[in-house]
Structure 1
Amino acid sequence: MPRAETVATDTRPGGHRTVFHGWRIVAAFAVTQTVGYGTLYYAFAVLLQPMATTLHTSTTAVTGAFTASILAGAVVAVPVGRWLDRHGGRALMTTGSLVATTLVVAWSQVRTVAQLYAVLIGIGLTAAMVLYEPAFAVIISWFDPDRRAKALLAVTVVAGFASSIFLPLTGQLVDRYGWRTALLILAVVHGVVTVPLHAFIVRRPPRGPSAAPHTVSAVRGAAVRAALTDSRFWCLAVAFVAHSAAMSAMTVHLVGFLVREGHRATFAATFAGLLGALSVTGRLLLTGAQRRVRITTMVAAIFGIQAVAALCLPGIADSAPGAVAGVTAFGLGFGIASLAAPALLTERYGTAAYATIAGTLATPVTLAKAGAPLGAAALLSANGGYSAVLAAISGTCLVAVAGILTGTTKPAPVPALAADLHGRTSSTPGNAE
């Protein structure tokens, strides 16, 4: 049975013994990511129509504010990554949680569309400080490769149910109290849960003997340059950008497609909501297969299944069993990228500059996530049906397959110190269960 807490011997002079806090941090992030995504991301879908009605504007205008929020997060992805590499996540994530909570309160009080845009752009900036990217960077700094996948999986499995928890919760709050009071309640939940957990649990791992600061900076710079000059990094970027575009477009347009196929709106919404739960299944499959199958092979196979599912949906979704089969097959790939990207980046470029490199990748991925639904809507308007949209989604999944399979997983030629700046190796006792 795993022990609740593992003690590691610090390699610094004096032989001080320090507590390994990695699994405590994982447990904290499992909670904060669930609440963070539920409040800062998923709640918007429930609030969309009530806000448009109250502000006397169109749902398109309100949706634009959400798109602006996502784009704001893309803008700060690289600076946030650099901060994390240099200073860790504690101060950044605590500050981000405090500001995000304040902004959710401000969101409840907006009176104009301009105010809504300003608040949601602020929320997008703070979301980049508190959600998956910074959380993963902290976890990667604590865990060796043997335990890293399990730690990341633990967080994403729990957070994968954020939509299943917060969509109905937000709906009930809106029905009972109205959208403004619902946001105030969500702000309280967000602040009470995320601020203390980030402030008191998150910390940097103990360092062993390390190089001088200027050497550490040089090593991080070398790791970043190695990634940005490696063609395989850009193949990964193409893969994850394409996949993000496909997931985002499907998320937004799946309900409309199923309704157009003759299904009741409640049926369509229920099965669209299952995408979050199916993402957990996909993550479990990926992590379980990693020791037996190359991660690139497994990810490419899942992306390929999604491509086939999207292409087949127009022909099978008119019946309930066909719709269920198609959505289930496609849903297995939801959330795969959130585990595959950290594994591939750390395998190839080490952990010294992980957050900066991941932030560089996150920028185009986030832009695709924001823009794909708009492109799909334009394609839908031009063709008058969903077949072209689903064919485009299938095609982008195939592009993702090609990107993942291009190149090998052989590590890039980064200086040895770039692999780990925390004085740990894969056999460090502190990383054992």
Structure 2
Amino acid sequence: MAPTTTPVAADRTVRGHRQVFHGWWIVAAFAVTQTAGYGALYYAFAVLLHPIAADLHTTSAAVTGALTAAILAWAAAAIPVGRWLDRHGGRGLMTIGSLAGAALLVAWSRVHELWQLYLVFAGLGAAMAMALYDAATAVIVSWFDPARRPKAILAMVIVAGFASTIFMPLTGLSEQRYGWRTTLLVLAAVYAAVAVPLHALVVRRPPAGNGPAGRPATAQRAAAVRAATRDSRFWWLAVAFIAHSAAMTAMTVHLVGFLTGEGHPATFAATVAGLLGVLSVTGRLVLTGAQQRLRLTTVVAAVFATQAVAAITLPLLAGTRTGAVVGVVAFGIGFGVANLASPALLTDRYGTAGYATIAGTLATPVTLAKAGAPLGAAALYTATGGYTPVLATIGAACLVAAAGILARAGTPAPATEPERLLPTGKHAGVSEPVASSKGRPGPE
């Protein structure tokens, strides 16, 4: 099989020990700030949902709409945030985002009307886009060459994968003892104390001209973004991750309801659902190990297909506790896989110039899917009177995701792709063609 030409980020110079060392300090800082950020800004909502609804004299569904507003704001901010990160780096933006997140937690603790809650959460969505995973990944991509980048991202997401495991129980205990308003003030203090100084003091732009992390020209970034949006592989990737994101979010929201509907106690259902956070770490480790021997697209498609089978067969398995655990474990192994696969597939194809903008373009529809999927699943449940059609739809979405990944891998690269990526056929030090063949496992 003739090798195909694939542009990947090139480490044009030998990186000094100081730069590599500081890059790992950034990874360590993000491991902490992303754990605290997701725990305080995102996962706390599920724990405080019912106390807030009771205090505001409204329904849980009305309060849940505030989270939808946050996710919509997050999606709207994804592309502008990506453009800013490409041009200016993450230090200022992520510091402001973490400051805003802490301030909005305080504002959240003071709401007395539903409209105030929605307003606060619209701001929280923008703050999360500025300070959480997408921004952190863009910074790591700019600091590390292709050989070190997967390990750097893996180190961050493995630690952050325990955010729900750490923060949800602690938030619940605090709420029971002090109430939800005081709990939010505590979370605001913890998040501000952790994220603001680490983002302000540790995050910085890589030295200009040292490897792919230099400051590419505006024209080069624009060319890389155009190459992505005109490339059929990018849109197959979008189909895959939109479908997968919708399936993951719908399952997360409705799993406890499904298990209790099967006759399991609420404590058992919550415990089994809590496995998803731990399994996200396991899935990332499995992906990292498997891609050493197999193509990344093959491994990801296989994981998505496994999730499809698990979701479709879960109604048959969940009648017993053992069957429920087996089904959830099989499905949960795919949680977190997209977080590792997406940066690898994007940088392998388009290099690092314009990465944050390209990733933001992909994140916008993916985030919208996260906002709409739980509502769609709830509507389907209401219309059919059961969870079996919901789980079948989740399984079908996982199959679509697997097909999208395989279609992305099978779409031939344009013969003159390097010349299309940047003006006048020059790579300007941000990407270079690297032959990859069937005999060399890689993202293709």
Q: Is the 8 A contact 1:223 1:418 kept in 2?
A: no
1:208 CA displacement: 2.3
The residue type equivalent to 2:88 in the other structure is H
2:230 is the counterpart of 1:229: yes
Go from structure 1 to structure 2 and tell me whether the alpha carbon gap of 1:422 and 1:310 turns closer, same or farther (over 3 Å shift): closer
The residue type equivalent to 1:244 in the other structure is S
- Tell me, in whole angstroms, the C-alpha distance in 2 between the residues paired with 1:361 and 1:417: 25
1:280 CA displacement: 0.3
Q: Deviations over 1:270-317 (max 9, x none)?
A: 010110100000000111122211000000000000000000000110
2:205 is the counterpart of 1:204: yes
Aligned residue in 2 for 1:431: none
Aligned residue in 2 for 1:291: 292
Q: Deviations over 1:172-225 (max 9, x none)?
A: 0000000000000000000000000000000111122799x9971111111000
TM-score, with normalisation over the residues of structure 2? 0.89
Aligned residue in 2 for 1:80: 81
Aligned residue in 2 for 1:247: 248
Aligned residue in 2 for 1:306: 307
2:271 is the counterpart of 1:270: yes
Go from structure 1 to structure 2 and tell me whether the alpha carbon gap of 1:67 and 1:9 turns closer, same or farther (over 3 Å shift): closer
Q: Deviations over 1:315-348 (max 9, x none)?
A: 1101011000000000000011011000000000
Aligned residue in 2 for 1:113: 114
- Tell me, in whole angstroms, the C-alpha distance in 2 between the residues paired with 1:129 and 1:417: 32
Go from structure 1 to structure 2 and tell me whether the alpha carbon gap of 1:351 and 1:320 turns closer, same or farther (over 3 Å shift): same
Go from structure 1 to structure 2 and tell me whether the alpha carbon gap of 1:418 and 1:265 turns closer, same or farther (over 3 Å shift): farther
1:20 CA displacement: 3.9
Go from structure 1 to structure 2 and tell me whether the alpha carbon gap of 1:318 and 1:19 turns closer, same or farther (over 3 Å shift): closer
Go from structure 1 to structure 2 and tell me whether the alpha carbon gap of 1:215 and 1:252 turns closer, same or farther (over 3 Å shift): closer
2:392 is the counterpart of 1:376: no
Query: Which runs of no fewer than 5 residues in structure 2 stay unpaired?
Result: 1-10, 435-444
Q: Is the 8 A contact 1:351 1:418 kept in 2?
A: no
3-state SS in 2 of match to 1:151: helix
Query: Which runs of no fewer than 5 residues in structure 1 stay unpaired?
Result: 1-7, 426-433
Aligned residue in 2 for 1:67: 68
Go from structure 1 to structure 2 and tell me whether the alpha carbon gap of 1:164 and 1:420 turns closer, same or farther (over 3 Å shift): farther
3-state SS in 2 of match to 1:407: helix
Aligned residue in 2 for 1:430: none
The residue type equivalent to 2:161 in the other structure is G
- Tell me, in whole angstroms, the C-alpha distance in 1 between the residues paired with 2:162 and 2:332: 14
Go from structure 1 to structure 2 and tell me whether the alpha carbon gap of 1:294 and 1:19 turns closer, same or farther (over 3 Å shift): closer
1:420 CA displacement: 5.0
The residue type equivalent to 1:221 in the other structure is A
- Tell me, in whole angstroms, the C-alpha distance in 2 between the residues paired with 1:51 and 1:242: 31
Q: Deviations over 1:364-423 (max 9, x none)?
A: 000000100000000000100111000000000000011000033877532376585499
Q: Is the 8 A contact 1:99 1:126 kept in 2?
A: yes
- Tell me, in whole angstroms, the C-alpha distance in 2 between the residues paired with 1:325 and 1:419: 50
The residue type equivalent to 1:313 in the other structure is L
- Tell me, in whole angstroms, the C-alpha distance in 2 between the residues paired with 1:30 and 1:159: 6
1:10 CA displacement: 8.2
The residue type equivalent to 2:36 in the other structure is V
Aligned residue in 1 for 2:184: 183
Q: Is the 8 A contact 1:100 1:127 kept in 2?
A: yes
Identity %: 67
Go from structure 1 to structure 2 and tell me whether the alpha carbon gap of 1:146 and 1:16 turns closer, same or farther (over 3 Å shift): closer
Q: Is the 8 A contact 1:310 1:390 kept in 2?
A: yes
Q: Is the 8 A contact 2:145 2:211 kept in 1?
A: no
Go from structure 1 to structure 2 and tell me whether the alpha carbon gap of 1:16 and 1:247 turns closer, same or farther (over 3 Å shift): closer
- Tell me, in whole angstroms, the C-alpha distance in 2 between the residues paired with 1:210 and 1:246: 38
Aligned residue in 1 for 2:4: none
Q: Is the 8 A contact 1:310 1:330 kept in 2?
A: yes
Aligned residue in 1 for 2:438: none
1:358 CA displacement: 0.2
Aligned residue in 2 for 1:342: 343
Q: Is the 8 A contact 1:239 1:404 kept in 2?
A: yes
Go from structure 1 to structure 2 and tell me whether the alpha carbon gap of 1:100 and 1:214 turns closer, same or farther (over 3 Å shift): closer
2:134 is the counterpart of 1:137: no
Q: CA RMSD in A?
A: 2.4
2:162 is the counterpart of 1:161: yes
Q: Is the 8 A contact 1:350 1:418 kept in 2?
A: no
3-state SS in 1 of match to 2:390: helix
TM-score, with normalisation over the residues of structure 1? 0.91
- Tell me, in whole angstroms, the C-alpha distance in 2 between the residues paired with 1:102 and 1:46: 20
